[in-house]
């Protein structure tokens, strides 16, 4: 059985439109997750270690103020289009659209005020919560009224996140959750002692602004071959890598499949990722620099967390040979990701 509590987390500032931010606490025997109605944000996720003790394994803030200030999308659902769109530009049915540029020359994670920065309407379910919002035609430069539902359900050791959307005009869409994990416990110094594996035979090389070049490259014989578990710190050193911020190309199937695993041997905590999505962005917190104070006023330095963001491939709307990024009227966008938490 999943227990569910809801409480007030805070009040949005008037300049952000006001409104009450609620927190939903889902609890099973082995996992406890806290989700905010602001940005459908996973604010905390406690899981057991080998010793049976709970520890919070996601980065974030103790108060609403932390989430309303600038931060790198901790725990939030990002959209309309997660990841980067080159030059913030795309063409649909012969019409060119220009988005706000918020990541050098590119548009990132929905623009200036994406899905992470708005209040969603919650509906409590027997074992979770469904958040809804209508993204109006023209919001952040995107075409069409887009109805979006994000549903979190907790069942034992498994947290499922389902994303659904319908549109009035053809629009690009790519939704993901941007939780930053450290299985040693949030606030731990780094993730070098984590073991990571990703079930991908190919990845997308990027240019110096992190836009895919268009090549779909084999991982064979490179530092991107994570098909067998690697210890992250040693692996980065061995291949002289600054860190990862790359899309790994998954087997193209609409069905649920196992795609990645992270494990922290000292505590025995492990997380499996299953998804219906065509890609997973593996990010090792390269841009964290210790300037942000998170929960318990702990600083979050570089490489102190990782993200495994299941999603479509970056800039897919501008690359015809990438998986389809467009949602048309009468169709439904529907993807699910399952996070399974274990201790061994």
The HSE-up count of residue 120 (CA atoms within 13 Å, CB side) is 29
Is 321 annotated to bind ligand? no
Q: Is the peptide bond before 80 cis (omega within 30 degrees of 0)?
A: yes
83 is in an annotated binding site: yes
Catalytic residues: 178, 309
Tally of CA atoms within 13 A in the half-sphere of 133 that contains its CB = 20
Nearest to 305 by CA among 177, 155, 198, 185: 185
The Cα 322–Cα 186 span in angstroms is: 35
- 75 Ramachandran zone, left/alpha/beta (phi>0; psi -120 to 50): left
Cβ neighbour number for residue 315 with a 10 Å cutoff: 27
Measured CA to CA, the distance from residue 179 to residue 43 in angstroms comes to 9
285 secondary structure, DSSP code: -
Q: Does the annotation place 245 within a ligand binding site?
A: yes
Where is the binding site, in residues? 83-84, 178-180, 245
Extract the annotated binding site for beta-D-galactose: 83-84, 178-180, 245
């Amino acid at each position: 059985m999943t227990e569910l509590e809801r409480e007030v987390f805070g009040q949005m500032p008037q300049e952000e439109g006001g409104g009450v931010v609620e927190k939903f606490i889902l609890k099973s025997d082995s996992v406890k997750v806290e989700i905010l109605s602001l940005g459908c944000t996973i604010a905390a996720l406690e899981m057991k270690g080998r010793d049976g003790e709970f520890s919070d394994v996601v980065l974030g803030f103790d108060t609403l103020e932390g989430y309303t200030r600038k931060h790198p999308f901790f725990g939030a659902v990002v959209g309309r289009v997660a990841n980067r769109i080159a030059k913030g530009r795309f063409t649909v049915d012969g019409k060119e659209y220009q988005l706000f540029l918020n990541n050098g020359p590119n548009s990132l994670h929905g623009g200036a005020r994406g899905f992470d920065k708005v209040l969603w309407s919650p509906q409590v379910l027997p074992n979770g919560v469904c958040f809804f919002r209508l993204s109006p035609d023209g919001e952040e430069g995107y075409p069409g009224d887009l109805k979006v539902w994000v549903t979190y359900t907790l069942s034992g050791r498994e947290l499922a996140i389902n994303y659904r959307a319908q549109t009035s005009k053809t629009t690009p869409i790519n939704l993901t959750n941007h939780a930053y994990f450290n299985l040693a416990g949030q606030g731990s110094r780094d993730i070098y002692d984590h073991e990571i594996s990703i079930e991908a035979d190919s990845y997308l090389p990027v240019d110096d602004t992190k836009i895919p070049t268009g090549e779909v490259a084999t991982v064979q014989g490179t530092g991107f071959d994570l098909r067998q578990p690697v210890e992250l710190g040693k692996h980065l050193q061995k291949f002289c890598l600054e860190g990862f911020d790359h899309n790994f190309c998954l087997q193209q199937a609409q069905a649920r499949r196992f795609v990645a695993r992270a494990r922290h041997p000292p505590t025995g905590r492990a997380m499996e990722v299953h998804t219906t999505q065509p890609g997973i962005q593996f990010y090792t917190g390269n841009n964290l620099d210790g300037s942000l104070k998170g929960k318990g006023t702990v600083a979050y330095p570089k490489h102190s967390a990782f993200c495994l963001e299941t999603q479509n491939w970056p800039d897919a709307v501008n690359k015809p040979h990438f998986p389809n990024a467009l949602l048309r009227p009468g169709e439904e966008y529907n993807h699910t990701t399952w996070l399974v938490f274990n201790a061994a």
